[in-house]
Amino acid sequence: MRRILPLSDLATSDLLHRCATIRDQLSQAGLFPALPGQDTASGPLTATTTWRIATEPFPLTKDQLDFFHQLGPQLLSFYRALNRLYLDSVRGLQPSWVAGYLDQGKPGSLLSFSRMKRFRDQLPAVIRPDIIPTQDGMVITELDSVPGGIGLTGALTEFYRAASPTPHLSEFVGGSKGMVLGFAAMLKAQLAQRSGCVAILLSEEAKDYRPEMTWLAAQLRGAGLDAYCIEPRHVRFTEEGLRITNEEMDRPIALIYRFYELFDLLNIPKSELLQYAIKKDLAAVTPPYKPALEEKLAFALLHHPALRPFWEQILGKETFLHLTTIMPRTWILDPAPIPPTATIPGLAIGGKAVMGWHDLSTATQKERHFVIKPSGFSELAWGSRGVSVGHDMPQIEWVAAIDKALASFPSTPYILQEFHKGRLYELDYFDPVTGEMNRMSGRARLSPYYFVSGEKTELAGILATICPADKKVIHGMKDAVMAPCAVTREQSESHQV
């Protein structure tokens, strides 16, 4: 277990004061529920979700920081290679089943839109992997190009940085303003020479993130970028382009930052007008409308033996080897019949090759260290929804999860992925409800945010989410501790206990 050292030179009362101050700052910014009688700068727009407040930032070693800096360019290369693989598959230059899997369950109109020539080379400009530190190293469980937490990570970094100093930590990842300035630089690169404002457009599905994106938009304006967080109903279409129109303003939109999932387009007011404006180049959008780049089954394609020559050629052998090491082996749960002479590549149970998905149903609990989850394009594919952890459920439920996944393939493909257990950390936290200090043993998820400008990726910050050790799936919850990451001084690094 790794112990996160408490502050030896700060009394408990000082820690309580620091954490209470951070809580109050988050509440004032609308990012944390306000206490009774407390006014907030955001007025009625206040977060409703809570979490436990860490007494200090989550510490990283210098070697771990180097890992994260090197990872950004590799993930951008992965997205670029995946984009090429998909387009080559559509054109018949790579196996057609690649595009078939990535297109499964998507409406034809969206696929046609995503394949337009003018969007051909566009890639996500925000890259956020979810990374689990294990005893054997870092493991990426998935990639997210429409992630929450940008504003929250920016605010946490700023508020922790302004709190009393932490002697054994030398620097915050990205700096106190890294998230805001990095996001602003990315948006400016996307704007190019366009005239107008940036509209951070949120769907109803993403309403829980509205407080943090509203905070972020205000910070962007403070940094000199004309940006606003709005709802689709505030967008007006004209022959000249899109405009933000509400009781406070009437401004032309040059760039839409898409904070809504593509599966949710039918529930977004004016979505067809938005797509028409983007198609006619009346406004730009990021991330691009490319559902093929938002599928978790991309990990399965990376590990597929038939595609290895492609990946090695495009990524280079060193990057390919590194990514296949840190991205867990993944398989697409396709119900198509498997010939009796064939096996599923790389998948074995009890030392025996798997010849069909229902072979998994007889696996013992110790042999079921797998996760089943939707690949994408579904309301179940984010926020840890729809996830089944094989060794954490009775066999009858495990079999039902397999059957459900196979039956869902026509509309929502599912994947089977190796489960990697996170290492344990012991840390102190502040309970924002009781106002007391407590200690917790938990497992961490590290979420670095990379912002892309041209060919460059910038690591702007890292959000740590630590959940109690008995939770199998790590995500934001009221029992989780959430904190920004900072680098330890070499002479005071965390130690094993």
158-195 pLDDT tens trace: 999 988 667 677 799 999 999 999 999 999 999 988 99
Residue 483 lies in a domain: yes
Flag whether 379 is in a domain: yes
- CA 128 to chain CA centroid, Å, is 5
Count of domains observed in the chain: 2
Q: Which of 419, 448, 466 is the last residue of a domain?
A: 419
Residues across the chain:
497
pLDDT in tens, 310-329: 999 999 999 999 999 999 99
Residues 362 and 218 grouped into a single domain = no
137 and 39 fall within a common domain: yes
b/e map 238-249, b = 16+ CB within 10 Å: eeebbbbbeeee
The pLDDT of 221-239, averaged and rounded, is 95
Q: Which domain covers residue 254, as residue numbers? A: 2-66+119-293+423-496
Specify if 32 maps to a domain.
Answer: yes
Residue 138 pairs with which residues in a beta bridge? Answer: 133
**Is 89 inside a domain boundary?**
no
Q: What is the pLDDT of residue 8?
A: 43
Distance of CA 357 to the CA centre of its chain: 29
On whether both 256 and 282 belong to a single domain, the answer is yes
Same domain, 62 and 145: yes
Looking at 419, 449, 469, the residue that finishes a domain is 419
- Dihedral of alpha carbons 69, 73, 75, 76, sign: positive
CA distance 203 to 263: 11
Residue 186 near residue 472, CB atoms below 8 Å:
no
**CB neighbours (10 Å) of residue 496?**
7
| Cα separation, 311 vs 305, whole angstroms | 10
Do 137 and 244 share a structural domain?
Answer: yes
Pairing outcome for strands 481-488 and 169-172: antiparallel
Given CA atoms 384, 388, 393, 396 in this order, what sign does their dihedral have? Answer: positive
pLDDT at 497 over 50: no
Decide if 425 contacts 444 (C-beta within 8 A): yes
CA distance 414 to 182: 34
Domain finish residue from 419, 441, 470: 419
Residue 265 in domain: yes
437 and 400 housed in the same domain: no
* Residue 488: predicted pLDDT: 86
Question: Given this model, what pLDDT does residue 431 score?
Answer: 84
Instruction: Provide the sign of the torsion angle of the four alpha carbons 220, 222, 225, 227, taken in this order.
Output: positive
Residues 398 and 414 in one domain: yes
CB 128 within 8 A of CB 179: no
pLDDT of residue 7: 43
User: Hey, what are 432's tokens?
Assistant: 């924002």
Q: Are residues 128 and 246 in the same domain?
A: yes
pTM flag (> 0.75): yes
Question: Which sign does the torsion angle of CA 156, 162, 165, 168 carry?
Answer: positive
251/361 same-domain check = no
Q: Has residue 324 been placed in a domain?
A: no
Could you read off the pLDDT of 3-33 as tens digits, one per residue?
Answer: 554 444 457 788 888 899 999 999 999 999 8
Token pair recorded at residue 122: 């566009």
428 and 414 housed in the same domain: no
On the question of pLDDT at 353 being above 80, the answer is yes
Q: What is the mean pLDDT of residues 375-386?
A: 78
Same domain for 478 and 364: no
Give residue-wise pLDDT tens across range 234-284: 999 998 999 999 878 899 999 999 999 999 999 899 999 999 999 999 999
470 found inside a domain: yes
Locate 360 and state its tokens.
């998994």
310 in a structural domain? no
Span 435-489, pLDDT tens digits:
889 999 999 999 999 999 988 999 999 999 999 998 878 887 889 999 999 998 7
Shared domain for 429 and 399, answered yes or no, is no
- pLDDT tier at 43 (50, 70, 90 boundaries)? low
